[in-house]
Amino acid sequence: MNRLTQTEHDHLDMLINEKEAAAFLGHSVRALQNWRYRGGGPRFVKISQRSVRYRRKDLIQWAEDNIVSSTAEY
């Protein structure tokens, strides 16, 4: 497995807003909001009552955890 450089590690840990996170995942901001409300979406950081951020590594992990090879696995 490749070792990450400090710059790559910092990039994956950096907090991004929900618009950037939605673009990263290829979904809408509304989808992220729904997942936060209903559960089942990627982990997020609640900065304040109205401020939510995501780490790229959590978005990648969520996507990896949802990889399936057939609809029977879903």
The C-alpha atoms of residue 47 and residue 44 are separated, in whole angstroms, by 9
| CA angle, residues 8, 27, 18, in degrees to nearest 5 | 60
Domain encompassing residue 17: 9-73
4 assigned to some structural domain: no
Task: Give domain status of residue 18, yes or no.
Answer: yes
Q: Give pLDDT, residue 73.
A: 67
- Whether this prediction's pTM lies above 0.75 is answered by yes
Instruction: Evaluate whether residue 46 is within a structural domain.
Output: yes
List average pLDDT for each run of 10 residues in the chain, which is 74 residues long: 78 93 97 95 94 96 92 73
Q: What is the domain count for the chain?
A: 1
- Tokens representing 63 are 């996507």
Burial of 59 (0-12, 13-18, 19+ CB in 10 A): buried
